[in-house]
Amino acid sequence: MNKKPIGIFDSGVGGLTVYKEIREQFPNEDIIYFGDTARVPYGPKSKNNVIKYSIQNARFLIQQGAKIIIVACNTSSSVALPALRELVEVPVIGVIQPGVRSAIKHTINKKIGVIGTEGTIKSEAYQKAIQNLDKSCEVFSAACPMLVPLAEEGWIDHEVTHLIIAEYLSVLLQKKIDTLVLGCTHYPILKSAIKKIVGDNVNLVDSAIEVAKQLEEKIIHRGESQKGSSKFFVSDKTEKFKTIGKSIIGENVSPIQNVKLGESWYLT
Ligand code: DGL
């Protein structure tokens, strides 16, 4: 039995969509979450900086005792997994593969849309992973840089949000996709607005559920009846993390502690 916590990180609140699913599936596990709120967004940042931040975040979680790292950020998962797997001493699970498996399972016409940050789309991580598993799938992708600030702002059902989503998705919908991967952990926050635009004929893939399934294979259940604890760490304690976080996980995000990640945590 391993009583060490599960460590999860994202650039901000988005990864709480993954935390919520893991918390539900593993009620007895201790979980520590790190949101890099001082450096959000990761999407427009260079690959090297995203790799550097990801290593620092993972090292911090390991210092806190994490037995496994969940990279609850598509931008980090797209570019930093090889470095993380090489440099950290615990298993690392990203969000891309789980999302890809789910998309392939759901698509019927084999036309899959992927939306994500500029970093994720530019990396072509989804495209490559989908075609690795099923060459007959066509992948259409679109970077949606304005969706992270809208989600962080809490503009979940705002007219402006609907207009922006419709604009971003218009080309993908013209391609007749039947499955749309929400390739950013912030996007499930806007799921109902996205659903309104794509309609009932397009499946939305939220990788959080698939990540929890993959974790099931790695975690030995504690088999204890007591409730697992949750601790949240951020690099900048903001009101937004609390308010948006509460709307995602359905309860107070607590306790939250502020941490400063040192440059020395990044070793090449
Ligand atoms: N939530 C993150 C993702 O899944 C990134 C958002 C951002 O920081 O740009 O890609």
Full domain range(s) for residue 37: 6-95+210-267
Whole-angstrom distance, CA of residue 18 vs CA of residue 10: 10
Tokens of 126: 């989804």
Q: 93 Cβ partners below 8 Å, 6+ apart?
A: 68, 69, 70, 71, 211, 214, 215, 218
Whole-angstrom distance, CA of residue 239 vs CA of residue 242: 5
**Are residue 201 and residue 230 in the same domain, yes or no?**
no
User: What are the two backbone dihedrals, phi and then psi, of residue 27, each rounded to the nearest 5 degrees?
Assistant: -60, -25
CATH value at residue 32 = 3.40.50.1860
Structural domain contains residue 254: yes
Please give the number of the atom of ligand 1 that sits closest to the Cα of 75. 10
**Are residue 191 and residue 214 in the same domain, yes or no?**
no
Q: Average pLDDT of 208-237?
A: 83
**Are residue 103 and residue 198 in the same domain, yes or no?**
yes
The whole-number pLDDT of residue 265 equals 58
Establish whether the linkage from the previous residue to 27 is cis, with ω within 30° of 0: no
Structural domain contains residue 149: yes
Please give the number of the atom of ligand 1 that sits closest to the Cα of 185. 4
Q: 234 Cβ partners below 8 Å, 6+ apart?
A: 34, 35, 36, 37, 38, 241, 256, 257, 258, 259
184 is catalytic: yes
Q: Tell me the DSSP string of 146-168.
A: THHHHHHHT-TT-HHHHHHHHHH
**Are residue 51 and residue 22 in the same domain, yes or no?**
yes
Please give the number of the atom of ligand 1 that sits closest to the Cα of 11. 8
**Domain final residue pick, 162, 187, 207:** 207
Instruction: Tell how far the Cα of 75 is from the centroid of ligand 1, in angstroms.
Output: 6
Instruction: Tell how far the Cα of 10 is from the centroid of ligand 1, in angstroms.
Output: 7
Which amino acid is it at 220?
I
The count of structural domains within the chain is 2
Structural domain contains residue 57: yes
Pocket of ligand 1 (CB under 6 A): 10-12, 14, 40-43, 73-75, 117, 120, 148, 184-186
Instruction: Tell how far the Cα of 42 is from the centroid of ligand 1, in angstroms.
Output: 6
**Are residue 108 and residue 190 in the same domain, yes or no?**
yes
CA-nearest residue, atom 2 of ligand 1 = 73
**Are residue 227 and residue 181 in the same domain, yes or no?**
no
Answer whether residue 268 shows pLDDT above 60: no
Instruction: Tell how far the Cα of 186 is from the centroid of ligand 1, in angstroms.
Output: 6
Structural domain contains residue 1: no
* Kind and range of the H or E run holding 18: helix 16-25
Instruction: Tell how far the Cα of 224 is from the centroid of ligand 1, in angstroms.
Output: 34
Answer whether residue 222 shows pLDDT above 70: no
The whole-number pLDDT of residue 210 equals 85
Among candidate residues 22, 184, 197, 215, the one labeled active-site is 184
pTM: 0.93
User: 65-76 b/e with 16+ CB inside 10 Å = b?
Assistant: ebbbbbbbbbbb
Residue 179: alpha-carbon gap to chain centroid: 18
Answer whether residue 267 shows pLDDT above 80: no
Please give the number of the atom of ligand 1 that sits closest to the Cα of 72. 4
Structural domain contains residue 170: yes
To test the pocket of ligand 1, the residue of 185, 234, 238 to mutate (highest count of ligand atoms within 8 Å of its CB) is 185
User: What are the two backbone dihedrals, phi and then psi, of residue 233, each rounded to the nearest 5 degrees?
Assistant: -125, 145
Q: How confident is the model at residue 212 (pLDDT cuts 50, 70, 90)?
A: confident
Among candidate residues 22, 40, 50, 73, the one labeled active-site is 73
**Are residue 179 and residue 202 in the same domain, yes or no?**
yes
**Are residue 91 and residue 214 in the same domain, yes or no?**
yes
> Over the stretch 142-171, which tens digit does the pLDDT of each residue have?
999 999 999 988 899 899 999 999 999 999
Distances (CA, A) of 140 to 171, 177, 249: 9, 8, 31
**Are residue 124 and residue 255 in the same domain, yes or no?**
no
The whole-number pLDDT of residue 253 equals 95
C-beta of residue 57 within 8 angstroms of C-beta of residue 66: no
